[in-house]
Amino acid sequence: AQSVTQPDIHITVSEGASLELRCNYSYGATPYLFWYVQSPGQGLQLLLKYFSGDTLVQGIKGFEAEFKRSQSSFNLRKPSVHWSDAAEYFCAVGANYGGSQGNLIFGKGTKLSVKP
């Protein structure tokens, strides 16, 4: 069965420090992978996505993620965290139903806190 694991429930980093959020997936075929961010009381916003090709994917707000098939991982990184990055981050794998990529299996999320 398809699944997504985010091992870290809560991470705290200092402003300006680097960030890496971990994501492992289980999927039988080539996965479509996504990272979303959710601020309190808000919906989910797509940060980046991987479908194929270059395994290092650039996203919005200075985020990037690297797909590693051998490790079944898709970790999210940012070189320098800003206070506004404090939010909850969700990794997701897409199931292709009807040719659309919104049929997603989400991990449980990682809450990011940023220390001044």
Can you give the binding site for another protein, defined by CB under 8 A? 4, 34, 36, 41-46, 49, 51, 90, 92, 96-109
Nearest to 77 by CA among 87, 62, 88: 62
C-beta of 36: minimal distance to another protein in Å? Answer: 8
Please tell me whether residue 80 adopts helix, strand or coil conformation.
Answer: coil
Main-chain phi, psi angles of 65, to 5 degrees: -145, 150
Share of the chain residues as helix, strand and coil, in percent rounded to the nearest 5? 10, 55, 40
Provide, rounded to whole angstroms, the least separation between the CB of residue 17 and another protein. Answer: 25
- Residue 20 has φ and ψ, to the nearest 5°, of -140, 125
Q: Nearer to another protein by C-beta: 45 or 58?
A: 45
CB-nearer residue toward another protein: 14 or 45: 45
| Closer residue to another protein in complex, CB, 28/98 | 98
CB of 76 to another protein, least distance (A): 14
